């Protein structure tokens, strides 16, 4: 046979569109042509495949070889096409029988010795193969991730020879072992934070309703400690959300199968570029806001981030997704992250400190705070001050509540919201917001007064209602009262200062 068709898949955002590797071997001067919009990594497959075939005891055809990756208008990247190209060469040159090839899909990068190296996006590949009704053959190192795809038929191999032996019926490839998910996730405990009662309360409210949180205070007051302890009090991630989170991390090549179902915590440095945080690059890869989907995105030193990064957060905070457009690639990624940010009150960091004098002028302080635009602050539900504690206060402060105790209250209150409206309070919109977050008469009066006094926008008005709804859920109250509205207003007053 001089023509072979091998099924595989590309990665296009979170999708895994089908690709057919067409290999044609013809008489003529030895040559190797690879077509089908392949990038540099794929074009280098020629040399890897040649060495892998020879190292595995096969013959590399000294003829005219043409490899087409169809469809031609779909960009292809990475080394996952090495294995299907090698198998296509073996079938087209008559070294491997073309038996039941239509029942399989293949993906794997070949080393020069013929062993298989792991590939990105194994979970997405397995789900797509399952929907197509085919068995996916992957490198053994990617098997644990692919095994998380419920119902998918997956086989794993260490080398090219093992794959060939399976196709010839000599030796069956094993199914991958599912990762051990019985261990409990380990997060820093909230009891290690001393004092800061208001900040702990805000953290509990944020965890219950999925609200964005901004902490303002001098250096060393515990803002980063509080942020890193938020994942430990969040409710468990639902099964469908776990698959989405795992798929994005897998696409970036940083997914650990044993941590399936855990909420991610991403904390990019303030020097990170817009493409790194929002997503982009020539291949339109996901950024930190997508990698934090289902978990927490912590932005420390918020005003130090590039203005383009900060303004690009506005749409994802509203919609929970991000659209990336490049000259030849377009992708839409989930961005359902929970934003936690921290900043100093001024450039030197000591404005309002009880013992250290601030060296900043009013103009410097204004310029520093003006780096955060009004539309961005409007999308943050909770803003709290984390003050400096004296040594006496630290000595007297005992251990606070543990993360486990706080998490029980968070889960109970969050389950109330889910039973009532089917979503977290931070995502309440339209008629559902009017129905489920309507305050009583006294609460409505107080809310109207706050809107007029603080000059709040319609967006801020609705966010106040969502926070008040979460506070009421934590209190076990069906109706939002003036007390709940009053506490919600306290968490927005810093915006108007």
Q: What is the DSSP string of 295-337?
A: SEEEESSGGGS-HHHHHHTHHHHHHSEEEEE-SS-EEEEE---
| Rounded Cα distance, 254 and 213, in Å | 26
Residue 398: the pLDDT is 66
Residue 1: the pLDDT is 57
CB of 244 within 8 A of CB of 273? no
Q: What percent of the chain has pLDDT over 70?
A: 98
Q: Grade residue 125 by pLDDT with cuts at 50, 70 and 90.
A: very high
Residue 161: the pLDDT is 96
Residue 87: the pLDDT is 97
Residue 313: the pLDDT is 95
The third-level CATH classification (topology) of the domain covering 3-167 is: Ribosomal Protein S5; domain 2 (3.30.230)
106 has a pLDDT exceeding 90? yes
Tokens 């806001």 correspond to 289
497 has a pLDDT exceeding 60? no
| Rounded Cα distance, 289 and 298, in Å | 10
Instruction: Name the CATH superfamily for 190-389+399-425.
Output: P-loop containing nucleotide triphosphate hydrolases (3.40.50.300)
What number of CA atoms fall less than 13 Å from residue 384's CA on the CB side? 26
| Rounded Cα distance, 276 and 285, in Å | 9
340 has a pLDDT exceeding 90? yes
Cβ partners under 8 Å of residue 444, min gap 6: none
> 258-281: per-residue pLDDT in tens?
899 999 999 999 999 999 999 988
CA-angle at 352, arms to 346 and 356, nearest 5°: 90
Sign of CA dihedral 410, 388, 339, 187: negative
Output the pTM of the full model. 0.91
Q: Grade residue 14 by pLDDT with cuts at 50, 70 and 90.
A: confident
Residue 298: the pLDDT is 98
| Rounded Cα distance, 138 and 107, in Å | 6
The three-class DSSP label of residue 201 is helix
Query: Which residues lie across from 280 on neighbouring strands?
Result: 285
Mean pLDDT over the full length of the chain: 92
Residue 196: the pLDDT is 85
Cβ partners under 8 Å of residue 41, min gap 6: 77, 78, 79
Q: What percent of the chain has pLDDT over 90?
A: 75
183 has a pLDDT exceeding 80? no
Query: Which residues lie across from 104 on neighbouring strands?
Result: 135
H-run or E-run covering 8: strand 3-9
| Rounded Cα distance, 203 and 181, in Å | 27
Tokens 């292809």 correspond to 76
Range from 50-54, 159-163, 399-403 carrying the lowest mean pLDDT: 399-403
| Rounded Cα distance, 272 and 278, in Å | 10
SS (H, E, C) 251-283: HCCCCCHHHCCCCCEECCCCCCCHHHHHEECCC
| Rounded Cα distance, 358 and 42, in Å | 57
* Cβ neighbours, 10 Å, residue 312: 19
Mean pLDDT of 58-84: 93
Cβ partners under 8 Å of residue 26, min gap 6: 2, 63, 64, 66
| Rounded Cα distance, 5 and 89, in Å | 10
Residue-wise burial string across 449-482, b where 16 or more C-beta atoms lie within 10 A, e elsewhere: ebbeebebeeebebbbbbbbbbbbbbeeeeebbb
Structural domain boundaries in the chain: 3-167, 190-389+399-425, 428-497
253 has a pLDDT exceeding 70? yes
* Cβ neighbours, 10 Å, residue 173: 20
Residue 416: the pLDDT is 95
307 has a pLDDT exceeding 90? yes
Q: Grade residue 326 by pLDDT with cuts at 50, 70 and 90.
A: confident
Q: Grade residue 185 by pLDDT with cuts at 50, 70 and 90.
A: confident
CB of 227 within 8 A of CB of 339? no
Mean pLDDT of 301-320: 94
Mean pLDDT of 55-70: 94
CB of 146 within 8 A of CB of 125? yes
- Helix crossing, 160-167 with 82-92: angle to 10°? 50
Question: Using the 8-state DSSP alphabet, how is residue 188 labeled?
Answer: -
Q: Grade residue 342 by pLDDT with cuts at 50, 70 and 90.
A: very high
| Rounded Cα distance, 153 and 85, in Å | 22
Mean pLDDT of 198-218: 95
């Amino acid at each position: 046979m001089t023509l072979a068709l091998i099924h595989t898949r590309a990665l296009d955002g979170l999708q895994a569109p089908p690709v057919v590797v067409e290999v044609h071997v013809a008489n003529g001067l030895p040559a190797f042509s690879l077509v089908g919009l392949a990038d540099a990594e794929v074009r280098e497959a020629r040399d890897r495949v040649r060495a892998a075939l020879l190292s595995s005891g096969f013959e590399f055809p000294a003829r005219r070889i043409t490899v087409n990756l169809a469809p031609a208008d779909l960009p292809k990247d990475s080394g996952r096409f090495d294995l299907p190209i090698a198998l296509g060469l073996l079938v087209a040159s008559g070294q491997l029988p073309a038996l039941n090839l239509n029942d399989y899909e293949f993906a794997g990068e070949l080393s020069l010795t013929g062993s298989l190296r792991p590939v990105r996006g194994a979970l997405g590949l397995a789900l797509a193969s399952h929907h197509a009704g085919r068995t996916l053959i992957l490198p053994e190192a990617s098997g644990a991730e692919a095994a998380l795809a419920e119902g998918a038929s997956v086989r794993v191999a260490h080398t090219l020879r093992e794959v060939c032996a399976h196709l010839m019926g000599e030796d069956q490839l094993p199914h991958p072992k599912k990762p051990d998910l019985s261990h409990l996730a380990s997060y820093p405990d909230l009891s290690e934070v001393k004092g800061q009662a208001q900040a702990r309360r805000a953290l509990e409210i944020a965890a219950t309703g999925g609200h964005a949180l901004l902490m303002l205070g001098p250096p060393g007051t515990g803002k980063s400690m509080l942020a890193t302890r938020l994942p430990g009090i969040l409710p468990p991630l639902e099964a469908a959300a776990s698959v989405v989170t795992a798929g994005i991390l897998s696409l970036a090549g940083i997914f650990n199968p044993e941590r399936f179902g855990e909420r991610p915590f991403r904390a990019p440095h303030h020097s990170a570029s817009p493409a790194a945080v929002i997503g982009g690059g020539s291949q339109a890869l996901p950024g930190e806001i997508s990698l934090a989907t289902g978990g927490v995105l912590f932005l420390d030193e918020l005003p130090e981030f590039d203005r383009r990064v900060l303004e690009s957060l506005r749409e994802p905070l509203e919609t929970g997704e991000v659209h990336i457009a490049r000259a030849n690639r377009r992708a839409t990624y989930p961005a359902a992250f929970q934003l936690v940010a921290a900043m100093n009150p001024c450039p030197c960091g000591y404005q309002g400190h009880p013992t250290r004098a601030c060296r900043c002028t009013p103009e410097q302080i204004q310029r520093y705070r003006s780096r955060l635009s009004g539309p961005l602050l409007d999308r943050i539900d909770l803003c709290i001050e984390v003050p400096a504690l004296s040594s006496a206060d630290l000595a007297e402060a005992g251990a606070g509540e543990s993360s486990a105790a706080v998490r029980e209250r968070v889960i109970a209150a969050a389950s109330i919201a889910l039973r009532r409206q089917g979503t977290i309070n931070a995502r309440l919109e339209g008629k559902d917001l009017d129905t489920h977050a309507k305050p009583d008469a006294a609460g409505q009066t107080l809310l109207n007064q706050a809107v007029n006094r603080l000059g709040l926008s319609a967006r801020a008005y609705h966010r106040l209602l969502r926070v008040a709804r979460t506070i009421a859920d934590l209190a076990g109250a069906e109706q939002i009262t003036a007390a709940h509205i009053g506490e919600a207003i306290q968490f927005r007053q810093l915006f108007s200062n």
